[in-house]
Structures are given as C-alpha cells and as structure tokens.
Chains A and B, each alone.
Chain A
C-alpha cells in the first residue's frame, strides 16, 4: 500500500513541478489537473470514497473556472513574458535569487516543525482510532446513518458544517461583489 501511494505521490510531485515551470498557462492548468485527480486515486486507496467523490467534483469545477479565466488571455501573456525576459534579465535574476532564498529559509522553518511532528506521529498504517472510538461504536445507533463519515459531518460535528455553509455563502457574496460590472468610483 505504501509503495503504491509513494509512486502516485511522486507522479503528483512531477506534475506539480511541471505546472509551475510550464511556459503556457493552459498546459500548467492541465498539469494541475494531474495533481488533483491523482489525489482522487489516493483517497480511493486510503478507503475514503466520500472524499474521492467530492474531490472529483471540486477539481473539475476548479479546472473549468480556471480555463475560462485563462482562455482569452494566455497567448498575450506568453509574448509579454518573453519580451520582458529579453529586456531586463539582470533585474529579474536578482529578484529571482531573493525569492528562492526566501523559499529556502521558509522550507527549513517548516522542515524543523515537520521533523518535530513526525516524531509524535505513529508510523503509517498503525493509527489507533482512539478519538473516533465513540463514533464508530455508537454512530449508527445514535445518528441512524450507516455511513460513519456522514454521521460525523452532519450530526456530531454539525456546527462545523454550519460554518462551512457560512463560508460558502460569504464566498458567493464576495464573488458577486467583486465581479459586479460597475462600482461606485
């Protein structure tokens, strides 16, 4: 199991790196799709079918929105980038080195905390479900739902779902406010 997941994850990492270095924005988006749909297969292997279904829907919607945003602008952007690279290459290089240094410092910072967290965690696959013991034993009897994940989402942690609905509503209101054609200017 761990080997299959590792192969999938390496595939996803390669897709992610290609997405960040692709010249064309459309091909970057397609490689972003590699990562998203690889995650779907990972969820299926990890025995999480609900998550896999949700991730398929979410990834498809995100890709469609992104392609709709990019489609009419990608070519001009490509030309401009090449022109700028020829014009002010020295300026770009110093900025780029600074950015990469920032990434390295942050990576070391995160590596420190990752190292500390990985000591506390059990090795992969030997997790004890001590937090979820009550959910597993009483979930079907208390909530009447055969699917334990649904029981947790809509019953035991119902307030979380309420907050999620609030965030979705706020996001829709925000998008409508941003995309409104004429503002008060």
Chain B
C-alpha cells in the first residue's frame, strides 16, 4: 500500500514541476517524472509476491509468474515517452534559437 502512495507523491512532484517552473527544460523534466510514476504504478499493480520472471524455462511449468500484460503495455508506453520527450526538446531548441532564452515569461510573442 505504501508504495502506491509514494508513487502518487512522485506524480505530485512532477505535477508541481510542470505547473510552477518557468524554465522550459524543467517543465520537460517534470513531464518525465509524471510519465515515470505512471509506468511504475502500472508495473507495481502487476506484481505478485514470490512470482517469477515471465520467461519460460525447462521445469518452470508449475511456477506462478508476475503479470506479463502490464509489462508489455508499459514497454510500449516507455518508447512513446521517449519520442514525446524528443519532440518537446526539438521545440525547446527552436524556442532558444528564436528568443535566446528558456524562460517562458520572456517569450512574449507566444501570448494569444
């Protein structure tokens, strides 16, 4: 139970970073924390006490495994997170080239 709560605290730290920091790089770091905490939470749900790694070897027919389904889907999610991060960093590079700063308060022409 306490690991779920700690995972939620990590989620809140990421949320705090996304909403309060003014540096674009720190916002991206906060998004990474959000993604990491969600992935860890899904894998924690699938854990079985005393379960084995879900790889079949000779003589392991009667053992019980941890749940392979969350692991498979989190595998997809991690790779998608990498591509999202790379995209955000590309946007950050362009913003730095145009405005010479990472500070979102100084990027005035983005105001609607």
A: which residues have CB within 8 A of B?
1-2, 5-6, 9-10, 12-13, 16-17, 19-20, 25, 28-29, 32, 35-36, 39, 42-43, 46-51, 54-55, 58, 61-62, 65-66, 69-70, 73, 76-77, 80-81, 84, 96, 99-100, 102-103, 106-107, 110-111, 114, 118, 121, 123-127, 129, 131-132, 135-136, 139-140, 146-149, 151-153, 157, 160-161, 164, 167-168, 171-172, 174-175, 178-179
B25 touches A121 (CB 8 A): no
Q: Chain B residues near A121: list those with CB within 8 A.
A: 4, 45
Q: Which B66-105 residues sit within 8 Å CB-CB of chain A?
A: 66-69, 71-76, 78-87, 89-94, 96, 100-103, 105
B10 touches A124 (CB 8 A): no
Q: Chain B residues near A19: list those with CB within 8 A.
A: 17, 26, 29, 33
A58 touches B82 (CB 8 A): yes
Expressed in whole angstroms, the Cα–Cα distance for A168 and B82 within the complex equals: 9
- Of all chain B residues, the one with the shortest Cβ separation from A42 is B40
Q: Given A17, A46, A174, A178, which contacts B47 in the complex, CB threshold below 8 Å?
A: A46
| B110 interface residue (CB < 8 Å to A) | no
User: How far, in Å, is B44 (CB) from chain A's closest CB?
Assistant: 7
Expressed in whole angstroms, the Cα–Cα distance for A62 and B102 within the complex equals: 18
Assuming A80-B101, A125-B47, is B16 touching A20 (CB within 8 A)? yes
Chain A-chain B contacts (Cβ-Cβ < 8 Å), number: 236
Could you list 7 examples of A-B contacts with CB < 8 Å? A48-B71, A58-B81, A102-B19, A103-B12, A136-B68, A167-B83, A171-B86
Q: Chain A residues near B30: list those with CB within 8 A.
A: 20
